[in-house]
């Protein structure tokens, strides 16, 4: 029988491993000394966050004492929602190069919020716009990372 505790332990161990792989891969990124922020900085930070989060999840679940809830697997409708969300993530990644980070983030976040939340159209569009604008401001303008900006924006 699948339980939440065993799923959290397995997920935490996987995230810990993924964090280690991310940190290792970040060590292979090279960049010039003239850059203000080395290109490996963001992958290092993300890897450390994933590593620590996964380790804390696994340890917390391992030490849990109490009623272990049984996992309720999604029905057909839930499975379709998961698949649509995964496909939309793949489309987001595929569109990032031709459309740029801000526009592809706007489209992905707007669609996902609308699809999963069933909100009125203005709400997902607002959240998508804010997400796209913040991604441009933080990653492209402030940190000057080499994400594609798309055909409508210039650096």
Tens digit of pLDDT per residue, the chain (155 long)? 567 778 888 899 999 999 999 999 988 887 766 666 777 788 889 999 999 999 999 999 888 877 777 777 778 888 899 999 999 999 999 999 999 999 999 999 999 999 999 888 999 999 999 999 999 998 888 877 778 888 876 65
- 29 and 85 together in one domain: no
The pLDDT of residue 76 is 87
- 85 and 139 together in one domain: yes
Residue 143 exposed, middle or buried by CB count within 10 Å (0-12, 13-18, 19+): middle
- 35 and 93 together in one domain: no
DSSP H or E segment with residue 21: helix 4-27
Q: Residue with structure tokens 């917390």?
A: 60
Backbone angle region of 37, left / alpha / beta, with phi > 0 → left and psi within -120 to 50 → alpha: beta
Structure tokens at 54: 């996964």
The DSSP-derived string for 39-70 is TTHHHHHHHHHHHHHHHHHHHHHHT--S--PB
The pLDDT of residue 155 is 56
- 44 and 89 together in one domain: no
CB atoms within 10 A of CB 85: 13
Count how many Cα atoms sit within 13 Å of the Cα of residue 57 in the half-sphere of its side chain. 20
The DSSP letter of residue 28 is T
Structure tokens at 127: 């959240």
Q: Of 41, 56, 73, which residue constitutes the final position of a domain?
A: 73
- 11 and 22 together in one domain: yes
CB atoms within 10 A of CB 27: 11
Query: Total domain count for the chain?
Result: 2
Phi, psi of 3 (to 5 degrees): -120, 160
The pLDDT of residue 65 is 79
Q: List the domain range (segments joined by +) for residue 19.
A: 1-73
The pLDDT of residue 42 is 81
pTM: 0.66
- 88 and 150 together in one domain: yes
């Amino acid at each position: 029988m699948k339980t939440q505790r065993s799923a959290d332990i397995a997920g935490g161990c996987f995230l810990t491993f993924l964090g280690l792989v991310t940190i290792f891969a970040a060590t292979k990124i090279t960049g010039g000394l003239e850059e203000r922020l080395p290109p490996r900085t963001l992958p290092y930070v993300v890897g450390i966050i994933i590593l620590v989060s996964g380790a804390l999840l696994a340890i917390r679940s391992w030490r849990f004492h109490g009623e272990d809830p049984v996992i309720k697997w999604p029905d057909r409708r839930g499975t379709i929602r998961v698949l649509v969300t995964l496909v939309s993530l793949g489309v987001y990644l595929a569109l990032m190069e031709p459309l740029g980070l801000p526009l592809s983030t706007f489209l992905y976040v707007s669609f996902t919020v609308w699809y999963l939340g069933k909100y009125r159209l203005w709400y997902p569009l607002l959240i998508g716009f804010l997400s796209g604008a913040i991604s441009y401001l933080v990653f492209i303008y402030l940190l000057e990372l080499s994400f594609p900006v798309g055909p409508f924006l210039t650096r």
